[in-house]
Amino acid sequence: MKTMRDPERQRPVPEDLLRIANAEEQAGNHGKLIIYLGYAAGVGKTYTMLWDALQHKAEGTDVVIGYVETHKRIETDALAAGLETIPVSHIWYQGLDIREMDLDAIISRKPSIVLVDELAHTNAPNSRHLKRYQDIEEILRAGISVYTTVNIQHVESLNDVISQITGIQVRETVPDTFFDLADDIRLIDLTPEELIARLKAGKVYLGDMASQAVDHFFSSGNLIALRQLTLRYLAHRTDKQMVTHMRARAIAGPWPAVDRILVAIRPGPAAEAMVRAAYRDSQRMNAEWVVLSIQEEREGPPTGQERAWLRDAMDTARKLGGKVVVYRGEDVAHEILRYASQNNVTTIMLGKPRGLDILVSPVYRIMRKSPGIDIILFDTKGATSIPIEQQLPRLIPKDYLITMVLILAVTLLNHLLLGTISTANLIIIQLLPVLVSAWFFSRKASIFAAVMSIIVFDFAFVAPFYTFSVDDWEYFISFAGYVVIAILISHLANRLRYLIPQIRESEATVAAVAGLSKDLVDARGYEEMLEILARHMRLFAPGKIAILIPDDGGLRFATGDKDYPFTDKEMTIARWVYDNGEVAGRGTDTLVGGIGHYVPMKAHGLVYGVLAFAFQNPEAVLSLETKGVPVAMAQVGALSLERVTL
């Protein structure tokens, strides 16, 4: 008897077909990326890469060395001598001569394959890119294939796991999205015993460095753990490729339902580690993942340290391919639950409450009110305990303490005025703390102020005095009415306090994107579109703006502010942005020494020009909430220009 198959299960998954199509399109224009992956220095990554390169050279392939670090190992030096080497560039910085790969020379030479060692390297200051992997991305876009090497400790998503294993925080990391570009990841393996033997023989490090390495990072336990982590990482990537292959070809299999992980973070030292943990869980579960950060209404502006924590966490999330959502809300627990419900979240990751903070943490509200959703509690490995004296103030928030002081101050004032004004006026004065707390603090604090003000007034100014009883029921009705009015006032004042900054922050965004789209639809010609785009660029943020368009193999000023601070350096950055179709300049990791922020007008693989922004306050404009607006403006402009130029 034949088993009936579900016709839906025989259809390829559209997302996987799109991924394969994009990969094939990219393969036609880009060079191939081969990554030699090891679990520690000395396993033979560079040696194997050079050996493979010599085999390609023997077959007639044009292979050159862009940058290889042989560490004076005799066998490695002998292999490198058999290949052409492009001379390195020299960058002088604070009296030091720093050797770096010559990116322009490689692109100009245009070999078939270039060897680039030490993928995770951080470039010298004033280099075009902050990281070497960004140099490699540019080489790939130029149609040159790249062979490169890296150790497992430099994979971004594993950074905190590596730190836990080795006790060393690795600063140079490569985002996991870069590894997704690889056509092949080749595991270079060696048993820990063999590696330690090589170390002791001086084949990895020279002199005292070898014995120090064996005693510290290269201990047997560390190497075993790192090797296992490397094997698991590569096995997971291979499994993921196989699943994509099977789905795209509708090969029958036990496909799970789509899961979605939501990781809710707050500005703190554990935020970035939570992001990495969520990514690893999403990979194990084959799930989509979202990073959500909510700023409560009652909270003031984040401190510089808090902004740095949040920025680092969000940048890590973007590097790992996660979706980032940041907004304000009245209540953290409510907003997390609302987002989870609206976006079909199946798992929520939260920070584990510690110490007395358990009593006021929103975690338990989320756990109670999230039926059908799995909860993961994240705890930072090796976190120190919080002293009890630092935990106690958190049980009574600062806004509640200030509110109580205000109530006592107003009560003292009413006591001084007692007998000079009527009781009705006294109760109005008694409600002043409600207005203050409603404007400056949370809704809960203002409701607390309303209830406490009425209780204190009853105790101090209503007969029988210094009791909580009320003989005149008219007072009871008045008190109830005042509480209702106070709650309404606190609600409206709190909402107004919340909405005003939101409106101010969103005005520029709405004007820059939504208004731009509408105006461009009505534009009739190329020049008019450029003028409209320039006008909306000015509305986005204070500063100077300009639009550059291609002309006779270069770029020329089309419209904008004629006093834009163009220098040879700024024009070089703009030209690079046009040639590569990538954002660069201030607020990015590429060509960061410039004054301006440059965005390519790119649509369907073609670049129609460059938007140039010289913001008065770049850090404020290029915040988490608004840094994507210039890119959106450029995309809208490119689509409009495409319509009139094709």
Whether the predicted pLDDT of 388 surpasses 50:
no
Q: pLDDT tens digit string along 507-542?
A: 555 655 667 777 787 777 888 999 999 988 888 888
Residue-wise pLDDT tens digits, 31-50: 999 999 999 988 999 999 99
Read off the CATH number of the domain in which 594 is found. Answer: 3.30.450.40
Query: Which is nearest to 249 in space by CA: 3, 506, 523, 12?
Result: 12
Cα–Cα distances (Å) from 637 to 126, 234, 367, 510, 516, in that order, read: 31, 41, 45, 15, 8
User: Quick check: 56 pLDDT over 90?
Assistant: yes
- Give the pLDDT confidence score for residue 557 in this predicted structure: 94
518 occurs within a structural domain: no
pLDDT grade, residue 504 (50/70/90)? low
* Percent helix, strand and coil across the chain, each to the nearest 5: 50, 15, 30
3-class DSSP state for residue 283?
A: helix
pLDDT confidence tier of residue 308, bands split at 50, 70 and 90: confident
Q: Are residues 154 and 78 in the same domain?
A: yes
The answer to whether 608 touches 549, Cβ cutoff 8 Å, is: yes
How do strand 543-551 and strand 554-560 relate by DSSP bridges?
A: antiparallel
334 with 411, same domain? no
Output the CA–CA distances (angstroms, integers) from residue 259 to 213, 236, 262, in the order listed.
Answer: 43, 17, 10
Least confident range of 249-263, 322-336, 609-623? 249-263
Pick the residue with more confidence: 181 or 7? Answer: 181
Place of tokens 């299999």: 253
Do you know the residue count of the chain? 646
Confidence of residue 2 (pLDDT cuts 50, 70, 90): very low
Q: Is residue 391 part of a domain?
A: no
Same domain, yes or no: 214 and 127: yes
Residue 514 domain-assigned (yes or no) = no
Mean of per-residue pLDDT scores for the chain: 81
Q: Do the Cβ atoms of 419 and 450 come closer than 8 Å?
A: no
Both tokens of 11, joined, read 């259809």
pLDDT higher than threshold 50 for residue 1: no
Burial class (CB in 10 A: 0-12, 13-18, 19+), 54: middle
What's the whole-number mean pLDDT along residues 435-450?
74
CATH number for 180: 3.40.50.300
Q: What is the pLDDT of residue 450?
A: 78
- Check whether residue 233 and residue 312 sit in a common domain: no
Distance CA 589, CA 565 (A): 21
Report the pLDDT value the prediction gives residue 34, as an integer from 0 to 100.
96
Q: What is the dihedral of CA 474, 477, 483, 485, to 10 degrees?
A: -100
Q: Which pLDDT value is given to residue 9? A: 43
Interval 121-144 mean pLDDT: 92
C-alpha angle 239-241-243 in degrees, rounded to nearest 5: 70
CA-based nearest residue to 412, from 461, 447, 448: 461
Pull the structure tokens for residue 619. 């850090």
Q: What percent of the chain has pLDDT over 90?
A: 31
Query: How much is the pLDDT for 503?
Result: 59
Q: What is the mean pLDDT of residues 573-590?
A: 90
Write down the pTM of the prediction: 0.65
Higher-confidence residue: 291 or 402? 291
Contact between 430 and 477 under an 8 Å Cβ cutoff? The reply is no
In this prediction, residue 390 carries a pLDDT of 47
Domain shared by 232 and 280, yes or no: no
Report residue 178's pLDDT band, with 50, 70 and 90 as the boundaries.
Answer: very high
Q: Which of 330, 347, 382 is the last residue of a domain?
A: 382
| Domain co-membership, 315 together with 202 | no
Confidence of residue 551 (pLDDT cuts 50, 70, 90): confident
Do 46 and 175 lie in a common domain?
A: yes
Stronger pLDDT, 599 or 508, i.e. the higher one: 599
User: Could you tell me which of 96, 94, 144, 99 has the C-alpha nearest to residue 118?
Assistant: 99
Range from 283-297, 380-394, 439-453, 603-617 carrying the lowest mean pLDDT? 380-394
Does residue 540 share a domain with residue 604?
A: yes
- Shared domain check, 187 and 44: yes
**Shared-domain flag, residues 378 and 406:** no
Residue 392 lies in a domain: no
* pLDDT value of position 598: 96
Give the lowest-confidence range in 205-209, 533-537, 631-635. 205-209
Question: Which of 57-66, 422-431, 535-544 comes out lowest in average pLDDT?
Answer: 422-431
Asked if 183 and 273 sit in the same domain, the reply is no
User: For the range 614-617, what are the long-range contacts, defined as Cβ-Cβ under 8 Å and sequence gap of 24 or more?
Assistant: 614/543, 614/544, 614/545, 614/564, 614/565, 615/541, 615/542, 615/543, 615/586, 616/541, 616/542, 616/543, 617/541, 617/542
Cis check: omega of the bond before 565, within 30 degrees of 0: no
Distance CA 249, CA 360 (A): 51
* 508 falls within a domain: no
Q: Is the pLDDT of residue 382 over 70?
A: no
User: Are 408 and 546 contained in the same domain?
Assistant: no
Give dist(CA 120, CA 175) in Å, integer.
10
CATH number of the domain enclosing 305: 3.40.50.620
pLDDT above 70 coverage of the chain, percent: 78
Compute φ and ψ for 351, nearest 5 degrees: -70, 135
Tokens of 582: 């990538």
Which structural domain range is residue 435 located in?
Answer: 398-496
Last residue of a domain, one of 191, 219, 248: 248
- pLDDT at position 7 is 42
pLDDT at 530: 92
- Domain end, chosen from 248, 269, 304, is at 248
- For the chain, the straight-line distance linking the first and the last C-alpha, in angstroms and rounded, comes to 58
Is residue 6 scored above 80 in pLDDT?
no
Between residues 430 and 202, the one the model is more confident about: 430
Q: What is the mean pLDDT of residues 89-97?
A: 82
Confidence of residue 18 (pLDDT cuts 50, 70, 90): low
How many domains does the chain contain in total? 4
| Whole-number Cα distances in Å, 258 to 10, 17, 284, 338, 345 | 17, 17, 13, 20, 10
How is residue 243 written in tokens?
Answer: 């699943």
Mind listing the pLDDT tens digit for each residue in 64-86?
Answer: 999 999 888 888 999 999 999 99
| Domain contains 7 | no
Q: Is residue 253 part of a domain?
A: no
Tell me if 9 is assigned to some domain: no
